[in-house]
Structure 1
Amino acid sequence: MADEAPLHSNNPIRFGIVGCAEVARKLARAMCLAPGVTLCAIGSRSIEKAEKFAALIGLSGTQVKLYGSYDQVLDDPCVDAVYLPLPTSLHTQWAVKAAHKKKHLLLEKPAALNVAELDRILEACQSNGVQFMDGTMWLHHPRTLKMKNLLSDSKTFGPINYIHSTSTMSVNPEFLETNIRVRPDLDALGALGDLGWYCIGAILWAKDYQLPSTVQALPDVTTNSAGVILSFTASFHWGISSNNSTATIHCSFFANSSMDLAISGSNASIHTKDFIIPYQEDWASFELSCGAQFADLHIGWNVIPEEVRVDCELPQEASMVKEFSRLVHGIARDGVQPNSKWPEISRKTQLVLDAVKKSIDRGCKLVQL
Structure 2
Amino acid sequence: MATSTQTPVRFGIIGCADIARKLCRAIDLAPNAVLSAVASRSLEKAASFARANNCSTEVKIYGSYEGVIEDPTIDAIYLPLPTSLHVKWALKVAQSKKHLLMEKPVAMNVQKFDEIAKACEENGVQFMDGTMWVHHPRNAKMREFLDDTELFGQLKRIHTYFSFASGDDFLKNDIRVKPDLDGLGSLGDTGWYCIRAILWAADYELPKTVTALPGPVLNEAGVILSCGASLHWEDGKVATLHCSFLESLTMDITATGTKGTLHVHDFVIPFQENEASFSTGAKCFFNDLVTGWTPLPSEHTVITDLPQEVRMVREFSCLVGDIKNGAKPESKWPIISRKTQIILDAVKTSIEKDLTPVTVEW
What interval of TM-score do these two structures reach, taking the shorter chain for normalisation?
Answer: over 0.9
Contact 1:9/1:329 (8 A) holds in 2: no
Alignment partners' CA distance in 1, 2:244 and 2:6: 45
How many Å apart are 1:37 and its aligned residue?
Answer: 0.6
Helix, strand or coil at the partner of 1:359? helix
Partner of 2:162: 167
2:54 to 58, 65, 73: 58
Structure holding more helix per residue:
1
Question: Secondary structure in 2 aligned to 1:344?
Answer: helix
Q: Distance in 2 between matches of 1:233 and 1:296?
A: 39
Pick aligned residue for 1:323 from 306, 312, 315: 315
Residue-pair matches, total: 358
* C-alpha distance in 2 between matches for 1:40 and 1:348: 32
What does residue 269 of structure 1 align with? 261
Q: Report Cα offsets for 1:54-110 as digits up to 9, x if no partner.
A: 1111125x2200000101010000100000000000000000110000010001011
CA contact (8 A) 2:127 2:334 kept: yes
Question: Shift in Å at residue 296 of structure 1?
Answer: 3.1
Aligned residue for 2:286, secondary structure, equals coil
**Sequence identity (%):** 54
- Give the distance between the partners of 1:10 and 1:193, measured in 2 at CA: 35
Counterpart of 2:331 in structure 1 is 340
Give the TM-score of the pair, scaled to structure 2.
0.97
**1:91-147 Cα deviation digits (max 9, x unpaired):** 000001100000100010111110000000000000000000000000000001111
Q: Which runs of 4+ in 1 moved over 3 A?
A: none
Q: One-letter code of the match for 1:108?
A: E
2:257 counterpart of 1:257: no
Which of these residues, 37, 43, 67, is aligned with residue 47 of structure 1? 43
In 2: Cα distance, 1:150 partner to 1:103 partner = 38
1:67 aligned partner, one-letter code: Y
Q: Distance in 2 between matches of 1:56 and 1:155?
A: 52
- Aligned partner letter, 1:249: L
Cα distance, 1:297 vs. partner? 4.0
Which residue in 2 is equivalent to 1:282?
Answer: 274
The equivalent of 1:35 in structure 2 is 31
Letter in 1 for 2:176: R
184, 190, 199: which one aligns with 2:194: 199
Quick one: which of 101, 122, 138 aligns to 1:143?
138
State the Cα deviation string for residues 162-216 of structure 1 (Å, max 9, x = none): 1000000001011100000000000010000001100000000111111001100
Q: Within the alignment, does 1:368 sit opposite 2:328 as a pair?
A: no
CA distance, structure 1, for counterparts of residue 188 and residue 81 of structure 2: 13
- Is the partner of 2:345 in helix, strand or coil? helix
Q: Secondary structure at the match of 1:201?
A: helix
- 1:192 alignment partner AA: L
Which residue is 1:216 aligned to?
211
| Aligned residue among 51, 54, 65 for 1:70 | 65
Task: Give runs of aligned pairs for residues 1-150 of structure 1, distance below 5 A.
Answer: 9-59=5-55, 62-150=57-145
Deviation of the 1:300 alpha carbon: 2.2
Residue in structure 2 matched with residue 3 of structure 1 by the alignment: none
Give CA-to-partner distance per residue, 1:212-257, whole Å, 9 cap, x none: 01100011100000000000011011112xxx11100111111100
TM-score normalised by the chain length of structure 1: 0.95
Looking at structure 2, the residues matched to 231 and 316 of structure 1 have their Cα atoms a distance apart, in angstroms, of 27
SS for the counterpart of 2:301 is: strand
1:9: how far off?
A: 4.3
Q: Unaligned stretches of 5+ in structure 2?
A: none
Q: SS of the residue aligned with 1:148?
A: helix
- Within the candidate set 229, 232, 235, 2:230 is matched to 235
What is the distance in 2 between the residues matched to 1:216 and 1:245?
Answer: 14
Structure 1 position 354 matched with structure 2 position 360: no
Aligned-pair RMSD on alpha carbons?
1.2
Long gaps (5+) in structure 1 = 1-7
State the partner residue of 2:286. 294
